[in-house]
Chains A and B, each alone.
Chain A
C-alpha cells in the first residue's frame, strides 16, 4: 500500500496519551484528494487532538502520517503544506485583514506583486474586498471566520483543517457560511478535514464521515452510508436519531416491534436488535388507521412548536403503560391537534433504519 501513490491524507495507527488520559487509541484515517471529511464526536472524544496531530501542532506517541504518500509524521507545522482554520480563528489582532491574509505568503517570501494578486483574488472570493485595512476587532464574527478561511486558503494548501469553524456563528449565519464553504471547496478542489459535533453541519458539508468516541473511531464511510446504516445506538444518536425500538424477526421482511409488526426495506443481518425511525419521516393522519403492517394508533401526549412545525410526542396507549419511550414525530405542516387526540400513525418501511450492531448499547 505504501508503494502506491495515494493522493490525499493517510493516518496509520495514531495513538496519543496526555497525562493519564488516552486521547487517541490506534486511529486509522484516510482522506482522498478533493474530499470533505468530517470528524464527528462529543467534546473530549479526541477529534481536536487528531486534527492537531495532522496539522503538526502535536506529536503522536505512535503511528505515522502520510500526505500524498510522503511521510510527514515528524515534519513541524511550519513545514507542512497543511493550513488550519482555528476554532477561535486566531487572527493576529495587531495586523489588518490584508496583513493577516498575506502572512503565510510573506513568511514563504513570495514576490510582492504575486502576494497582492493572490490576496486580492481570495478576498473577492470570500466577498471581503474593500475591508483590507480593517483590524480583527472591527470585524463581525462571520467576517472574522471568512478572514481566517482566506488566510489559510491563500497558501493553496494540499489539505485544509477546520476546527469547529462555524461554532462561533449564530444559526442563520451558520447555514449561510455552510453553503459558501461547500461552494468554495468545489471551486478550489482543496481537501477539507472538518471537526464538528453538529450532525447538521456534517450532513450539509461532507461526503465522508468519521464518528469518534473516547479516542476511537466508531464508524467511518461515505456520509450518506453512515446516516443510512449507523453502526450502533451511539452513532445513531449522535446523528440526531431518536425513536429507537426493539425489533425481532417474524419473516424475511417483517419484524415485530412494540408498535406492531413492521415491513422493513432495509433488511438487518440479525434476528433480534434495534431499529429507529427519523422523527420527520413518520406520517400521521387524522382518520382512523387501516389494519395492516406499519400502521398503528397513537395519542398525542405533548406538543412543542419547533420554529417551523410541531414536535409531537405520541404514545401508543392513553395511559402509556408500555415500557417504551414516546415516539417523536416532527411535522412541518400546520396542524391543529389537542393533547390526548387520537391519530393514525404510519412508519414507511423505507425509513425504518436497523442498527448494524445487534448488541444493545
Chain B
C-alpha cells in the first residue's frame, strides 16, 4: 500500500472545509442538504402549496345548479365577500369575519392571562412535580376537540353544580343549562387553546432569570414595571409563538362554537363549513377560506413586525451591534 501522497499545494479554503469532523467541499454540503430537503419540499408542494392554489383558483369559478363547479370565471364570489349579493348589499359576511377576529382575539387574550400564572407555577415546582403538571397540560391533546366540547355540555348541564349554584343565586332559571351562549363558547375555546399557549410560554418561563426580577424589585419597580421590564422581555419568545399558534386556529374554529354556541354564534369557520356541505357552494367557500387565510397571514405579519418576533433569537440577548 505504501504511504499516501501528501499534496504539496495548500487546500483551497474557499472551497474545502471541515464539517462535522469530515473534510468536504461546500458544494457537497449544499448538494447533501438539497437531497435531504426534497421529501419535505415535495410534501409541502403537493399537499399545501398546490391545494392552496387550487382553492384560490376555485374562488373565481361559479356554482352550477346542482352545486357542481362550473368553469365560468367570475368576480361574483369576491364581491360576495364584501357583502354584495344578487339581492343587494348585506353586512352579514363582514360582521361574521369581524366577530371571528374578535373571538380569536379574546380567546388569545384569556389564554395569555391564564397561561402566565400557570406556567410560572409549573416552572417553580420541584423537578419531579413539573413532569406531573406538564403531563396534565398535555392530556387534553389525547382526546378529540369534539369530545371535549361535548364534555363541556355535560358539565354545564342543568343538573350539575355550575348551573345549580347560579340558579340558587338567582342568576339563572331553574333547570336551564349554561349553554348555548358566549360563556360556554369561551369556556370551550379557552380550554381548547390553553395548552397551545402554555406549552411555548413554558419553554421561556422555565429558563427565567429570577435575578433580573429581583433587580427590578430592588430598583423600586412597581408591579407593572416589573412585569413589562423583567417578565415580558424574558418570556417574549415563548409568548409570541403561543399567540400565533393560538390565534390562527382560533380564527377558523367552528366545532367548539357550533356545539357550545348552539349554532347561534356564526363564525367564519361555520360559514366555510356550511358552504362546502349544506350550501354546496364550493367556489364561495373557497373565496371565504382564501380570505381567511390572507387575513390571518396579514394579522400575523403585523404582529411579527410589531413584536420584533423576527429579529429575536431564543435567548433574549438581541444583538444590535452597529
The judgment on whether A and B are partners is: yes
Find out whether the CB atom of A107 lies under 8 angstroms from the CB atom of B318: no
Complex Cα–Cα for A93 and B218 (A): 16
Tell me how many residues of A have a C-beta within 8 Å of chain B.
Answer: 30
In the bound complex, CA of A77 to CA of B217 (Å): 6
Pairwise interchain contact A135-B318, C-beta atoms closer than 8 A: yes
Contact A78 B218, beta carbon cutoff 8 Å: yes
Contact indicator B233/A93 (Cβ below 8 Å): yes
B214 contacts A86, C-beta separation under 8 Å: yes
Cα–Cα distance between A333 and B165 once the two chains are bound (Å): 89
**Interface stretch of the complex, out of B71-79, B89-97, B145-153, B221-229:** B221-229
* Contact of A107 with B219 in the complex, beta carbons under 8 Å: yes
Q: Decide if B233 touches A84 in the complex (CB within 8 Å).
A: no
Q: How far is the CB of A148 from chain B (nearest CB, A)?
A: 9
Which residues of B sit under 8 angstroms from A107, Cβ to Cβ? 219-222, 225
**Which among B219, B222, B230 has the highest number of chain A CB atoms within 10 Å?**
B219
A103 and B214 alpha carbons, distance in the complex (Å): 13
Q: How far is the CB of A109 from chain B (nearest CB, A)?
A: 10
Asked whether A94 lies within 8 Å of B214 as measured between CB atoms, the reply is no
A-B contact count (CB 8 A): 75
Contact of A137 among B229, B230, B319 (CB under 8 A): B319
Asked if A57 CB lies within 8 Å of chain B CBs, one says: yes
Query: In the complex the two chains form, what is the Cα distance from A145 to B182 in whole Å?
Result: 54
Q: What CA separation (Å) do A151 and B321 show in the bound complex?
A: 22
In the complex with contacts A104-B220, A107-B221, A92-B215 CB distance below 8 A: yes
In the complex, whether A76 has a CB less than 8 A from a CB of chain B is yes
Please pick, from B220, B221, B222, B317, the residue contacting A93 in the complex, using a CB distance under 8 A: B317
Q: Is the C-beta of A108 less than 8 angstroms from some C-beta in chain B?
A: yes
Cβ–Cβ contact A86 & B219, under 8 A:
no
How far in angstroms is the closest Cβ of chain B from A310? 42
In the assembled complex, A173 has its CB within 8 A of some CB on chain B: no
Docked Cα-Cα span, A88 to B222, in Å, equals 23
Residue A232, interface by CB 8 Å: no
Instruction: List chain B residues, Cβ under 8 A from A86.
Output: 211, 214-215
CB-CB under 8 A from A82, the residues of chain B are: 218
The contact of B220 among A55, A88, A108, A138, by CB within 8 Å, is: A108
Nearest CB on A from B148, distance (A): 38
Q: Is A324 an interface position by the 8 A CB rule?
A: no
- The answer to whether A95 touches B229, judged by C-beta atoms less than 8 angstroms apart, is yes
Q: Which of A53-76 contact B (CB under 8 A)?
A: 55-57, 76
Q: Is the CB of A103 within 8 A of B217?
A: no
A82 to B220, CA, bound (A): 10
Q: Smallest CB–CB gap between A75 and chain B, Å? A: 12
Q: Does B70 contact A (CB under 8 A)?
A: no
- Choose among A77, A136, A152 the residue that contacts B214 (Cβ–Cβ < 8 A): A77
Q: Which residues of B contact A78 (CB under 8 A)?
A: 217-222
Can you identify 23 A-B contacts, CB atoms within 8 angstroms? A76-B217, A77-B214, A78-B218, A78-B219, A86-B215, A90-B209, A90-B211, A90-B212, A92-B212, A92-B216, A92-B230, A93-B317, A94-B229, A94-B318, A95-B229, A103-B216, A103-B229, A107-B219, A135-B318, A136-B317, A137-B318, A138-B321, A152-B218
Additional pairs, 8, CB under 8 Å, beyond known A92-B233, A107-B219: A78-B217, A78-B219, A84-B214, A90-B212, A95-B229, A103-B216, A107-B222, A135-B320
Chain B residues within CB distance 8 Å of chain A: 209, 211-212, 214-222, 225, 229-230, 233, 316-321
Sort A-B residue pairs by CB-CB distance and give the 9 closest, nearest first: A104-B219, A90-B215, A90-B211, A107-B220, A94-B233, A77-B217, A137-B317, A103-B219, A84-B218
